[in-house]
Amino acid sequence: MTLALDRQNVLAWLSNRVPAARITHILGVEQTAGDLARRYGLDEAKARSAGLLHDAAKYFKPQLLLQMAQKEGLELDSVLEAHPHLLHADASAIVARDEFGVVDREILDAIANHTLGRPNMSQLSCTVFIADTIEPSRGNTASLEALREASVQNLYAAVWQTSDYSLKYLLETRCYIHPRTVLTRNWALQMARRSTQTENSTEKSIAQITS
Ligand SMILES: [Fe+2]
Ligand SMILES: [Fe+2]
Which ligand has the minimum distance to the alpha carbon of residue 138?
Answer: 2
The string of pLDDT tens digits covering residues 170-181 is 999 999 999 999
Contacts of 74 (CB under 8 A, 6+ apart): 87, 90
Residues with CB under 5 A from ligand 2 (ion): 55, 132
Per the prediction, the chain carries an average pLDDT of 95
Which ligand has the minimum distance to the alpha carbon of residue 91?
Answer: 1
Residues with CB under 5 A from ligand 1 (ion): 55
pLDDT band at 196 (very low <50, low <70, confident <90, very high): confident
Contacts of 26 (CB under 8 A, 6+ apart): 14, 18, 51, 52, 54, 55
The pLDDT value given to residue 211: 64
Cα of 193 vs centre of ligand 1, distance in Å, is: 28
Cα of 56 vs centre of ligand 2, distance in Å, is: 9
The pLDDT value given to residue 1: 43
The string of pLDDT tens digits covering residues 50-71 is 999 999 999 999 999 999 999 9
The model's pTM is 0.93
Q: Is the pLDDT of residue 186 over 90?
A: yes
Mean pLDDT calculated for residue range 88-114 = 98
**5, 49 Cβ separation under 8 angstroms:** yes
Which element (helix H / strand E) includes 194?
Answer: helix 179-210
The pLDDT value given to residue 199: 75
119 — phi, psi (to 5°)?
A: -55, 140
Q: Is the pLDDT of residue 147 over 80?
A: yes
Which ligand has the minimum distance to the alpha carbon of residue 90?
Answer: 1
Cα of 153 vs centre of ligand 1, distance in Å, is: 24
**64, 90 Cβ separation under 8 angstroms:** no
Contacts of 132 (CB under 8 A, 6+ apart): 29, 54, 114, 115
pLDDT band at 195 (very low <50, low <70, confident <90, very high): confident
The pLDDT value given to residue 210: 66
Q: Is the pLDDT of residue 22 over 80?
A: yes
Cα gap 195→192, rounded to integer Å? 5
Which ligand has the minimum distance to the alpha carbon of residue 128?
Answer: 2
